[in-house]
Chain A
Amino acid sequence: MNVAVVGHSVCLPGGFAPGDAVPADGDWFDVKERLGRRGYRQLPLPAQLTLAAVRGLVPEGSAGDAPDPGDEVPAHRRGVWLGSSTAAAHCLAELDRRILAEGTESLPPTGAPYFSVNLVPARAVNELGATGPSVTVTSTGTAVLDAVACAVRALRLGHVDEAIVVAVEVPDEMRADGAPAECGAIALRLRAGESGGLLRSSSAFVAGEPATAAERVHAGLASQAPVLVAGPGGAAPGGPLAAFARLVAALRAGDDLAVVLTDATGAASGVDLAHAPVAPAGTAPGTSGTTSGSVTAPALVTTSQGA
């Protein structure tokens, strides 16, 4: 089963270029400008960023003219996978600070439900009208690529025909691993059954040894492409979102690229993007195996948001 990227959307600061670190400051994001004047200010930041990225998947000016590409897929065959290592901690910290300062009764009724991180994608899921699985993946350090892997797996196994993947990261005051704080979101629209190259993923855990885990993930990917390793034990600057942005840049440029994210605990997850079809990788000894799908040449939709 092939899997194609048929759309992507980047919600990062204006002027952001692949290879930059994604800044932690979210001042560039104007919620009124990006989402509208009413009904969005009360959403927590990761939910706002998620919604902006998902809206970017729809071609500008499509209303009444070009249909939303997602309309071709029945609602129940469309799923959403959100990946974030930081959204939950961000939302919980805001709520808890309020409890400590002003008591539990000070919690705003509209904000209280967001203690549950799976509400971060809920508004976007509603706008997409997606009644297939909606999954929130929060693995430490590797969530954004784990979400891609889960979505590709669901497509290959026939659970859905279309998967929307959203990678969103926000500052987390409690983060202790030295990972850089980031603020932004990137969305991909994946489809099953399209022709193209291969998208493979691999994941491994070696307690306390992220560099070793990254090596095993790279072996599992059996990638012929340049490899970018971000996180502890890796050389690439920036955090998960910066690495994800490099993947999207490669997609747009028609380049092949493998990206591996590591976490200080020893977790590592990787995705290999190849535009030309290649033979599916076998399972390398000592790795967890691979997932295969395919990726089309540069995506149909590109939206860059930010001042």
Chain B
Amino acid sequence: MPLARVSGIGAVCHAGATISEMWDGMNTGVASPTTVRDTYMDAPVRVLYLSAGSEHERDGAFPGAARSRAGRVAVRAAAEAVRDAGAGPDPARTGLVIGSCMGTSGESERVREEGAGQAPGIYSIGADVAAELGLQGPVLNVANACAAGAYAVGHAADLIASGECDRVVVVGVESYSRVALACFNQMSALDPATCRPFAADRAGTDFGEGAGALVLDRVPDDAVVPSPGAGASGTEVFLTGAGFSCDAGHATAPAADGVQARRAFDAALGQAGTDRARIGLVVPHGTGTTLNDQVEAELLADLWPEPADAPPVYSAKALIGHTGGGAGALAAVMAVKCLREGKVPANLDVGELMPQMEGYLHDSPVPVADSAVVNAYAFGGNNATLVFQGVS
């Protein structure tokens, strides 16, 4: 039995402020990162992939009652996902899991620099979304850095499996944070040009803003569900596997051997009852940092030694930047959309690829069938893999 049905999706990111806009953006394949205006951001790399609909990192983003930029973006994406899902169960049986590391830190930073005002609680996003959507079940914030969105999906599945909820709204979200950008500068982990995952001369990642939202529903007993390995592209998509692990090693660098990342991958596929031969799409974590991409490229090459045998790999961050806690959720939203549409758009051209990735990144749209895998990794050695399957 799948973990949940993906009944709705919503998105706000650099590629678009709705699912439809995001899909158009994925097919157009044009990114236009900007430079942040924050006068206290004196670090050398100030690249930011703004949310569509924003002119700069501190404008209003979207109207709404939410008390923060991240909150308003999250509400917009969550509301779209709920509209897409349609009527749900009793609000008291509907939970909310937010995946966000920086929360509303942008508001705190502004209050601190102005020396006046009151910032909302740093993880007030959940309360704002729940209030706006009328949700009354558990409200939870998971802050597993760049994998927070994927961990949020896993926790949502657990809330359903435990019987506590019949529906859970998941939102992975991040907006501009001066502290995050400054600290990444200090770690020399940013590319001064653009975010170019898997490029031979990549120099780091670049941050993006946005929110990915999914509505996960308990699978009814009479639902048409994918049998192991029998998924197809189509309108119904299910979450079928979720695997998590921790390197328990270096604070910020992924373990070079990739053993725990592989274990999360294998656990997710095992739970889904499928195998690598049936994977029709991979949305990798692919950040543009030297080590992450090295480890992930070796993982992919180990799984599919011949590029001709490998599924399409869609490298999302070249289009929308690294959205931190939003990344895993936005990658999941993109994977679900690809399964619904039955195709995956072309990757953006990032120049010469690292040798291990030659032949793995398609440069024209290709069909997608069966299952999609999403990877998300984070500081602290946190690894996550999600599996989605479609049913036509």
Contact = CB atoms under 8 A, between A and B. Distances in A.
B56 to A, nearest CB: 19
B108 A207 contact: no
Contact of A136 (B144, B180, B244): B144
Max count, chain A CB within 10 A of own CB: residue among B124, B130, B136: B136
Nearest to B249: A126
A107 B186 contact: yes
Contacts of B145: 116-119
A150 B183 CA distance: 30
Interface stretch (B80-88, B114-122, B230-238, B305-313): B114-122
Max count, chain B CB within 10 A of own CB: residue among A93, A107, A205, A291: A205
A89 B112 CA distance: 12
Given A89-B108, A93-B112, A125 B248 contact: yes
Contact of B144 (A79, A100, A135): A135
Nearest to B125: A140
Contact of A135 (B142, B161, B187, B248): B142
A206 B135 CA distance: 8
A206 B42 contact: no
A75 B103 CA distance: 31
B92 A122 contact: no
B151 A104 contact: no
B263 to A, nearest CB: 7
A7 to B, nearest CB: 19
Max count, chain B CB within 10 A of own CB: residue among A76, A92, A107, A115: A115
Chain B contact-residue range equals 35 or more
A208 interface: yes
Given A96-B108, A104-B41, A112-B183, A133 B379 contact: no
B247 A131 contact: yes
B55 to A, nearest CB: 24
Contacts of A119: 145, 251-252, 379-380
B248 A130 contact: yes
B155 interface: yes
Max count, chain A CB within 10 A of own CB: residue among B248, B378, B379: B248
A153 B40 contact: no
Interface in A111-154: 112-113, 115-119, 121-123, 125-126, 128-140, 143, 146, 149-150, 153-154
Interface stretch (B27-35, B162-170, B363-371): B162-170
Interface of B: 40-43, 90, 92-93, 95-96, 101-103, 105, 108-109, 111-113, 118-124, 126-127, 130-131, 134-145, 148, 151, 154-155, 158-159, 161-165, 177-180, 182-183, 185-187, 244-249, 251-252, 260, 263, 378-382
9 contacts: A122-B380, A135-B144, A138-B141, A157-B158, A176-B118, A204-B137, A265-B131, A287-B92, A291-B164
Nearest first, the 9 A-B pairs at minimum CB distance are A265-B127, A203-B138, A289-B164, A207-B131, A112-B183, A104-B182, A134-B246, A133-B244, A104-B43
Given A105-B186, A116-B379, 15 more contacts: A100-B112, A112-B186, A115-B102, A115-B179, A126-B248, A132-B244, A133-B154, A134-B382, A140-B121, A140-B123, A203-B140, A204-B138, A205-B96, A205-B130, A266-B127
